[in-house]
Chain A
Amino acid sequence: MNKLDPLGTFQWPELFQKYFPNQEPEHISNWPKKLVEEYHQKAIEFTLKHAYNNNTYYQEQFKNHNVTPEDFTNLDDLEKFPFLQKDALRGNPWLLLSVPKKEISHIHMSTGTTSQSIGDHIYQLHTWEEFYTISKYIKPNTSANIDPGDIVIIALPYEMSSAGISLHRVHENSTNSIVVNTGKGGFYSDPLKTIIIMKDLKADVILTTPSYAMYLSEIAEENGINIIKDIGLKKMWITGEGCSNSYRDRLQNIWNCKVFRNYGSLECGPLGVECDEQNGFHIYESFIHMEVINPQTGDILPPGNIGELVVTSLNRVGAPLIRYRVQDKVFIETAPCPCGRKTARLFLRGRIQDQLAVAGQSFSPFQAEDLLYKIPEMGNSHQFIFTKSGLTLRIELKCGIENTPELRDKIKCQMEYILGEIHKIEVVDKIPRTGGKTVRIIREEN
C-alpha cells in the first residue's frame, strides 16, 4: 500500500507505468544493461521534448547549439546538447521552470556552502507529482534499505535545503518506515532531545551527518545513556559532509552498526547510496542519467576515467536538469559489484572546491582525515587552520591521553606524510560543537 495514495487513485506518469508496472523502480538494479539503456533513452527523449516545449531558457540554449529534441535518437546523441552550468542557476529561481508556476508545490534552496551573498542562491522547483514519484525512484535496493516499521530518525536540516525533507518523503512514502523528524531550521536538532527520543522510541535508523552522529554519541555519554544498549541502531545513513573511511570506522564502532554513505546534491537530489561492500555509491539509475566529462574540453570520458560529473534528470518535469555540471570529481565503475547488483557505481574523488593546498601541494581534506583518525591517541574532532605561518592542525585527544611534546611531534610526523608541512599541532580540550554544519577548515591568512 502507498501511504500517500491510500485509495490508489494516483495517476503514475506514462513512462513509470511502462517500465515499473509494479511500482518497484529499485529493481532496475537487476535489469540487463540493454533495458536500462532503453529506459534512459526514452526518459531523456521525454525530458528534452518537455524542456524544449515548455522552457524558454532551454529553447534558446538548444537553438544556440543548433539542436532540437529530434536530434536525439540514441544515448550517444546526448553529447550534442549544451551543458547547464551552476552559475546560470544562481539568483535565477525560475530559470528552469517548465510547468505552469501553480503546479510547483515545493521549492528547495541551497544550504549556503557555496551561496553566500544576495543573488547567488540556487533554487530547485518540484511538482507534487514529482515528489510523489521521486520517492519511489530512489528507494535504495541495497542493504542500506530501511524496512517497513523501522523507526527512522531524520536529524538533518529541514529549513529550505533538500536533504532532510526529501529523505523524509522517501521513507514516509516508499520504505513504509516510521519517520521521526528531529531536525529543524538551518541547524540540527537539540542533541540531547534527539538522544532521548531515540532511546524512548528505540530508534532503528538515523539519517544525519557524520560529525553530528559523533556529537550525539558524546551527548549520550555525558548524560549516562548507553547508545548500544539503550538505543541499538540497526544502521545509519550519513550525508551532507564528506567522510573518510577511518572516521566512518569510528562511527561504526561507537554506534555498533553499519554506516552507509549517501551521495546527492541540492540541484540533483539523491544520486546514490552504498551497499554492504561500502565501496562506491550504487547510482539511482531509475532517476538520473550520468556522464563523466573532461572539465576542460567537455568531452565525454569512457567509464573508469576521473572527470566532472554531469547529470540529466529522467523524471522531473517542474524544473528538469539537462546535462547539469555538478562540479564534483568522480569516476564510474561499470563492472558488477561483489554484492551482485548490476547498477554502475560512482566513486567520489572530491568536490572540486574542497581541494586544499599546503606549500603549493594540493591535498584532499578527506585523505588527511582518513590518516588522522587512524591515530589511536586521536580524539573525535579536528580543524585545519590556514595561518600566515602555515597550516595549524587543531585536534582533540582521546579521553585519558596526555598531551606531551613527544605525542605532538609524533602526530606531526605522521600527518606530514600527507600534508607535507605542518606549522603546528595544537591540542585543545574541546573544539566547540556547533550543532550545525561542522567547520573543519578555517582561514586566518590575513
Chain B
Amino acid sequence: MIIDAHAHITEAEYGSVDLLVKSYDKSGIDKGIVVPGGMVDVREMSLYITGEKKASQEIPNHVVFDALKKYPDRLKGFVCINPLEGDKALETFQAGISAGCVGVKLNPMSHTFAFSGNMLDTIADECGQRHMPIYSHTLFNPGASTTKYAEFAKKHLNTNFIIGHMGFGALDTHALNFAAKQKNLFLETSSACFLNLVEALKKTGANKIIFGTEFPMSTSAIELFKIDELPISESDRNKILFENISSLVPSLSS
C-alpha cells in the first residue's frame, strides 16, 4: 500500500487530476490526498517570489471537490482556507466538509498571514474535533516561521499538524526538532532533500514522517525513489508510505 499525502491539482492541464491519477497508476500509488493548486502558476514560481506576479486570492477548492467526485476510491481532499477572509473562511471550511474533505490546507505565502489569531484557533479546534489534520508549509517570515507553526500546534494538542516539505529551506533543523518533541507535529517528505530525510529519521524516527509527492512540481516516481533509498526496515517504510497518514486520516483505511 502507498498513499501520497500531498499533491496539488489545477484546472490547467499541467496539474490536472487525470494526469495525477495516471502517474499514480504508473508508480503503483494506491491513494492520494489532493489540495487546490494554481493560485500561483508553479511553472513560473520565481516570479511570485520576486513579486513580478501576484498570487490569485481566489482559492480553487472546486477543483478538489470535483476530483473527489470523479475518483472517490482513489482520492481524499484537503480544503484550502484563508483565515483572513473572516466568516467566508468558515463557510469554505463547511463547504469542504460537505464535499468530503478530510483536512485543511493553509497557504501563508499566498495569503500573507501569521499562524495566530482567533480565526485560525477556531479552525484548528474544529479540525481537532473532526480528526482532520492541518497541512501547511512554513516560511522565513517571522509570523509564518516553523517556530510559530510549532507554537500554533502546541496550542491545539487535539489536532494533528503536518509540516509541508519538512519545513523551510533545504534542511530545517527547527522542523525536525519540533516534530521530535511535539506529539501532534509531523513531517511531509515531498521536495525535501535526501539528507533531510536521513536526519529526520535519526531525530524523530519513522513515526513522524509522511510520504508526499508535491505533484505537479515533482513526480510520484522521483519522490518514491527517495524513500526506497532510505536504509530502513520494511515496517518503517510502511509507516512512511501509508500507515502514519492513515492514522491521521482515519477514512483512508476504509
Contacts and interface: CB of A to CB of B under 8 A. Distances in A.
Interface in B39-67: none
Given A416-B142, A417-B113, 7 more contacts: A361-B142, A406-B119, A407-B86, A412-B116, A413-B119, A419-B143, A420-B142
Contacts of B83: 410, 413
A417 B86 contact: no
Given A361-B142, A363-B142, A416 B86 contact: no
Nearest to B54: A374
Contacts of A409: 117-119
A393 to B, nearest CB: 13
Interface of B: 83-84, 86, 108, 112-114, 116-120, 141-145, 148
A92 interface: no
23 contacts: A406-B118, A406-B119, A407-B86, A409-B117, A409-B119, A410-B86, A410-B117, A412-B117, A413-B84, A413-B113, A413-B114, A413-B116, A413-B117, A413-B119, A415-B114, A416-B113, A416-B114, A417-B108, A417-B112, A417-B144, A418-B141, A419-B143, A421-B142
B143 A416 contact: yes
A104 interface: no
Chain B binding surface SS class: helix
A415 B143 CA distance: 8
A414 B141 CA distance: 12
Nearest to B85: A410
A337 interface: no
Nearest to A361: B142
A363 B117 CA distance: 21
A420 B141 CA distance: 8
A161 to B, nearest CB: 33
Contacts of A363: 142
Interface residues of A, number: 21
Nearest to B148: A420
Contacts of A371: 112
Interface in A356-411: 358-359, 361, 363, 371, 374, 405-407, 409-410
Contacts of A421: 142-143
Contacts of A407: 86
Given A406-B86, A410-B86, A418 B117 contact: no
B119 A418 contact: no
- Those 5 A-B pairs whose CB atoms lie nearest each other, nearest first: A420-B142, A416-B114, A413-B117, A416-B143, A417-B143
Contacts of A414: 84, 112-114
A325 B144 CA distance: 36
A413 B111 CA distance: 11
A363 B143 CA distance: 12
A413 B120 contact: yes
B141 A417 contact: yes
A412 to B, nearest CB: 6
Max chain A C-beta neighbours (<10 A), residue from B83, B108, B112, B142 = B142
A219 B108 CA distance: 38
A416 B142 CA distance: 7
A405 B122 CA distance: 14
A417 B144 CA distance: 6
Contacts of A420: 114, 142-143, 145, 148
